Amino acid sequence: MRFDTIIIGGGLAGLVCGIKLQKAGQKCAIISAGQSAMHFSSGAFDLLGRLPDGTEVKEPLKAISSLPAEHPYSIIGAEKVAEYAAQAKGFFADCGVKVTGDASRNSWRITPTGERKPSWLTIGDFTPLAAKEEKIGNKALIVNILGYLDFNTKFLADSFEKQGTECRIVALKLEEMERLRKNPSEMRSTNIARVMDREGIWETAVSQIRTLLKDEDVIVLPAVFGLKDGSVVEKISETLGKKTIFVATMPPSVPGIRTQMTLKAEFEKAGGRFFLGDTVIESKADENGIIKSISTVNFNDIRMEADNFVLATGSFFSKGLIATPEKVCEPVFGIDLTYREGRENWFNTNFWEKQNYISFGAKVDETLNASIAGKKIVNLYAIGSVIGGTNSLYEGCGGGTAIVTALAAADRILEKK
């Protein structure tokens, strides 16, 4: 089966790259071994929150020039990063994913435990804060669904109270939810969202909130609404006539899953082929190292051929990188990685400290091409968190790296034609 470009990995990076190429007229395939990390999305994409030395970043675009040379942003170049960052908002809007935010200045998102983290683009369900210390209101009504354990109301109240917001915690008892409560281990965000999506249910929830409401000026709800519809928060706010904010829950993430489904549908609508639950097992290259074809578990002897291959397999979680006792490797093509020899250099025994292994990953050049045994492979690109040179968790740049490198690699591929 022949394609122009085959993308391995169906997460944020793979989908963004695939959509851009497919819409530009290419025939693309995305192969994904299971569902992606978008299912654990915080509801926001970060561009850059901290420099490697720990300095807090307020203006990400200005800070890029301070990054070390091996950082993917430095490799692409500050000017280009700004250009792709500017494109991103429109890109998501065209796909039907509403995002707010600005690359020139970080806003802040509230985590499920009430922490505040820097954010670039925030999915429409959430209200980004302009400053880290911003008060969400004078009095907040924190509303949970009875029996739902993945929304830490007390943590949230503690954190809001630090900024001087008085909090009251209540729980909604909805008849329709009681069936779910029979099985506490399945009282999860997505299952609640499925019930909430039924006709008239969120309206019932809202009328209960109205009876519970005293003099609060802001209502805080878990993001368990709208598996298909990203505008429920606005509807609730309108109905109540009060400021309403959603806070991200522990996984799975309803807005993240919706975003993933929307992007996948956009890719398929444009004619792309998405293969879920398949794994690449080997590749064939010609004498110059150009990758010609791959085979997968499901395709087996029917080879998948393409002019270009994009590796978007992610980091250790999705097995884009694999650590053995002796080494770290990339399992699909065996490409060259940036990493420190010696297992003792991989991690810090203090779990909360910066962990070096997170910055391991593909070595890429300015065209985002990967190399094998020191030799550049001109039709193989690496994008997203499989790329090394950045501790995305520490620096707060995972989402940005995925989006920016995906758009950049798509451009490189299209320029070649």
The rounded distance, in Å, linking the Cα atoms of 197 and 227 is 7
| Helix, coil or strand: residue 90 | helix
- Taking the complex as a whole, the smallest distance from the CB of residue 247 to another protein amounts, in Å, to 19
Question: Rule CB under 8 A: is residue 191 a binding residue for another protein?
Answer: yes
Query: For strand 218-222 and strand 243-247, is the pairing parallel, antiparallel, or unpaired?
Result: parallel
Q: Does 251 bind another protein (CB under 8 A)?
A: yes
| Contact criterion met (CB below 8 Å) for 87 and 95 | no
Q: Minimum CB separation from another protein for residue 137, in Å? A: 32
Q: Taking CB under 8 A as the rule, does residue 144 contact another protein?
A: no
Whose Cβ is closer to another protein: residue 31's or residue 157's? 31
Cβ proximity to another protein: between 211 and 300 the closer is: 300
If phi > 0 it is left, if psi is from -120 to 50 it is alpha, else beta; for residue 231 that is: alpha
Going by C-alpha positions, the residue among 268, 305, 267, 273 that lies closest to residue 286 is 305
325 near another protein (CB under 8 A): yes
DSSP 344: G
Site for another protein in 348-407 (CB under 8 A): none
Q: Name the segment binding another protein (CB under 8 A); options: 18-26, 31-39, 330-338, 362-370.
A: 31-39
Applying CB under 8 A, which of residues 24, 27, 35, 80 lies at the interface with another protein? 35
Distance CA 333, CA 362 (A): 11
Restricted to residues 263-292, the positions that interact with another protein (CB under 8 A) are 268, 273, 275-279
Q: Establish if 295 lies at the interface with another protein (CB under 8 A).
A: no
184 preceded by a cis bond (ω within 30 of 0): no
In terms of CB distance, is 162 or 179 closer to another protein?
179
Q: Is 36 in the site for another protein (CB under 8 A)?
A: yes
Structure token digits, residue 280: 């690449």
Nearest-angstrom CA–CA distance, 361 and 377: 16
Among 299, 346, 347, 394, binds another protein (CB under 8 A): 299
- Report the DSSP pairing between strands 280-285 and 328-329: unpaired
CB atoms within 10 A of CB 6: 29
155 binds another protein (CB under 8 A): no
> Could you list the residues that contact another protein (CB under 8 A)?
1, 33-36, 39-40, 179-183, 185-186, 188, 190-191, 194-195, 251-252, 257, 268, 273, 275-279, 296-302, 317-319, 325, 343
